[in-house]
Structure 1
């Protein structure tokens, strides 16, 4: 199986006049960490709720493990771990007891609770009452709950939202570990682009219910690698008028000009032109990353 999730021409709205999702199509490769990126209200949570069946896929536009959701569920939940919105706990009970309640409901052995607590590095805190857990610890325990039963796929909606930088790093390292060492495919939504960029292998960018880009990080890099090129040179103000308008030149500071080009050949031509005009260039670098690409892709 090449793709673990296939969504084709998915439309959804709470009324006929206002669609939340518009002809949405994405493929999530098996073994990937797939980022589903968009601003708040773009349609991320609605899509993920449809994936787990809490909003019905009436026209059968979604397949997981090669099966329509109406065929996959409820047995398919044994192969999927999901965290949509915020998990709730019994605060007067320990982390261990909270896990045991879920494992018993699912007829899973006690050893599963021990396994997932070690995975999320909470074994030493297992007997601590939930009300004493930090937000980061609660988030890790939430992910531990999704890992009960050794799922092949995790569907996580904004798992680092509200965490401090250290908590974000812990969750990021955990997800990368699960993907690389356990072989779990992870479908993760977020609007925190700088954080998500550090872990994903593939992505889809959604804006106002429409997919604006989908593919691998490598493909995105190839598509936008020559945008937001910064040229460091002495007396930038003097030379900016020499740069053709098609490069969209922008003066950043007295020694920096930012340009956008279509290819490396365009950059070579521009640098040659500036050097022939006696520009003293000391640096050329791309300042673009996922955040800049996201803004470029979603601006229309």
Structure 2
């Protein structure tokens, strides 16, 4: 599979003793939705600023469209849409006016503004003043700005940060539509595993400037997804003998068992086994080990 972005052994910092990024290597396949995940301060924004050339990549470790950044920029900016940090708007102007100001600076026709507003479902709100836009609408307009000029690649820094669940859903559906219908490769950073996991095809996890995992979602699930089934029941210790050892059962307390399962069928099988042995079950919880693992490696 062709890679749109390749980073090899990228290190960056104020000195050799104070590195923000430590030998970061990534491969972003063409056509993917790539999640760049990590806690706040892990090095996500710094990496993205290096990718966009706003911080110089002095060792030429980054390639986009199979070109080193000095060869790609400035003309290569026409092929990339980016949103780093918070978008800036003229609040006293309408969404349409904000968009046309940017399009005129890039010598793009007004028809391009109409196209991107329809893509992000803001055409009917184009005449509304920005100060009346909700946070979700502002974020969609910001993404519309990145889509001016039909880019092949979007680089978005925390696009769902601060949004309510409905706003997150709108942005997620929009990005998936852009990826599937427009064929745009999307590189998106976030500290929200559960939200980003719903849309990405590939991901990398960064902690304290170092990559802890990079690959496809399938590869991540194969290596790290072990589900833990917690069963609330009376007299938990006496039922430990009824659970086969390969499920790695553990006593959490007198009323809780934790069991490692691999499938829904495992949960059904074990629940039946406990009931047949007259267990008085009052609660069953199923929690993914992937989220626990992610929280463990990314916590500050």
Question: Could you state the TM-score of these two structures normalised by the residue count of structure 1?
Answer: 0.87
Matched, 1:251 2:252: yes
Counterpart of 2:44? 44
Query: Which of 110-119 and 160-169 deviates more?
Result: 160-169
Q: Is the 8 A contact 1:79 1:152 kept in 2?
A: yes
Runs (5+) with no aligned partner, structure 1: none
How many residues align structurally? Answer: 292
Distance 1:89 1:75 in 2: 25
Runs (5+) with no aligned partner, structure 2: none
Counterpart of 2:136? 136
Counterpart of 2:22? 22
Distance 1:222 1:284 in 2: 24
Distance 1:234-1:20 versus aligned 2 partners, 3 A rule = same
| Residues 25-60 of structure 1: CA deviation (Å, up to 9, x unaligned) | 111111111110000110000001101110111101
Counterpart of 1:74? 74
Question: Could you state the TM-score of these two structures normalised by the residue count of structure 2?
Answer: 0.87
Q: Secondary structure of 1:146's match? A: helix
Q: Is the 8 A contact 1:239 1:279 kept in 2?
A: no
Root-mean-square deviation over aligned CA pairs:
3.0
Q: Secondary structure of 1:168's match? A: helix
Matched, 1:64 2:73: no
Structural mapping, 1:1-300, within 5 Å: 2-230=2-230, 235-240=235-240, 247=248, 249-251=250-252, 254=255, 256-260=256-260, 287-288=287-288, 290-298=290-298
Q: Is the 8 A contact 1:237 1:251 kept in 2?
A: no
Q: Secondary structure of 1:175's match? A: helix
| Residues 78-108 of structure 1: CA deviation (Å, up to 9, x unaligned) | 0000000011111111111111111111111
Distance 2:296 2:109 in 1: 49
Distance 1:249-1:165 versus aligned 2 partners, 3 A rule = same
| Residues 9-35 of structure 1: CA deviation (Å, up to 9, x unaligned) | 110002221101001111111111111
List 4+ stretches of structure 1 deviating above 3 A.
229-235, 239-248, 278-286, 296-300
Q: Is the 8 A contact 1:250 1:258 kept in 2?
A: yes
